[in-house]
């Protein structure tokens, strides 16, 4: 008796790979009418100008899932960093419905901690429609600190400027995934070599015991004069 097609379909979707992923929480993605995120990577130094205008598409529907991703959140829970296994970091942030109309841009500052001081690594100016930014390459074992500050709209000449919102910061350190994979590979190779040595020792013992022993005369088989 053949099973109905519906039961076969349900059985095929039993593994976790067929499970429906939970939707991204609201507020973490840009609006539907914002297909691009404009940004500028600012040069190092006190000058704020310069930098080439670039565009990137937002990471819609992204979900950080272990073990290939580790999530870190800021104290205010409005900024999070997803550290991926390939040493890239996706930074995501959200704004409240009342805050978004008053923001003209975002200032992102990156720094990493050395033995005695902190060193700047990147300064980025992002457009108001941006809700994420990708750091393509971070170093293993280095403690990074990313701070994002919303920049308010420029005030009218007769009006008072709106105070800038405080910056949200998140800290993380990328795990040395490459070294861990090397250790796992070396352990597997070492285990295989040990198994091969045991098999060779057993084979030598078998040959010595069963093939070379009959070459010697046995006293009980000698002819009597």
* Amino acid 174: pLDDT: 79
Contacts of residue 38, defined as CB under 8 A and 6 or more positions apart, other chains included, come to 53, 54, 55, 126, 127, 129, 130
Does the pLDDT of residue 21 top 50, yes or no?
A: no
Lowest-confidence segment of 15-19, 125-129, 131-135, 209-213 by average pLDDT? 15-19
Q: Supply the Cα-derived Rg of the chain in whole angstroms.
A: 32
Tell me the Ramachandran region of residue 141: left when phi exceeds 0, alpha when psi lies from -120 to 50, beta otherwise.
left
Q: Which pTM value belongs to this model?
A: 0.62
To 5 degrees, how large is the angle CA 125–CA 134–CA 75?
80
The pLDDT mean for the chain works out to 75
Superfamily of domain 37-154+163-174 in the CATH hierarchy = Immunoglobulins (2.60.40.10)
* Amino acid 82: pLDDT: 94
Break the chain into its structural domains and give their ranges: 37-154+163-174, 175-205
Q: What is d(CA 211, CA 204) in angstroms, rounded to the nearest whole number?
A: 10
In angstroms, how far is the first alpha carbon of the chain from the final one?
82
pLDDT digits (tens, 9 = 90+) for 82-122: 999 888 999 999 888 888 888 999 999 999 887 777 788 88
β-partners of residue 93 are 79
pLDDT digits (tens, 9 = 90+) for 128-176: 989 999 998 888 888 899 999 999 987 655 555 556 678 899 999 877 6
Q: Are 52 and 41 in contact (CB under 8 A)?
A: yes
Residue 48 or residue 78, greater confidence: 78
The label of the residue with tokens 């593994």 reads 15
């Amino acid at each position: 008796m053949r099973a109905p097609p519906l039961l076969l379909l349900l059985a095929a979707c039993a593994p976790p790979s067929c499970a429906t992923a939970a939707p991204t929480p609201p507020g973490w993605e840009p609006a539907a009418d914002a297909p691009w995120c404009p940004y500028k990577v600012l040069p190092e130094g006190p000058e704020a100008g310069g930098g080439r205008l670039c565009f990137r598409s937002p990471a819609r529907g992204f979900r950080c899932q272990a073990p290939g991703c580790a999530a870190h959140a800021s104290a205010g829970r409005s900024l999070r960093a997803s550290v991926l296994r390939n040493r890239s970091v996706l930074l995501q942030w959200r704004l409240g419905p009342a805050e978004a109309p008053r923001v003209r841009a975002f200032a992102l500052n990156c720094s990493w901690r050395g033995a005695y001081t902190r060193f700047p690594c990147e300064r980025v100016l992002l457009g108001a429609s941006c809700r994420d930014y990708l750091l393509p390459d971070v170093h293993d074992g280095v403690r990074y600190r990313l701070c994002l500050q919303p920049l308010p709209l420029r005030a009218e000449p007769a009006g008072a400027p709106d105070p800038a919102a405080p910056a949200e910061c998140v800290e993380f350190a990328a795990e040395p995934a490459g070294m861990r994979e090397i250790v796992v590979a070396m352990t597997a190779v070492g285990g295989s070599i040990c198994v091969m040595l045991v098999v060779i020792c057993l084979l030598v013992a078998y040959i010595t015991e069963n093939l070379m022993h009959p070459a010697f005369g046995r006293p009980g088989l000698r002819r009597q004069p």
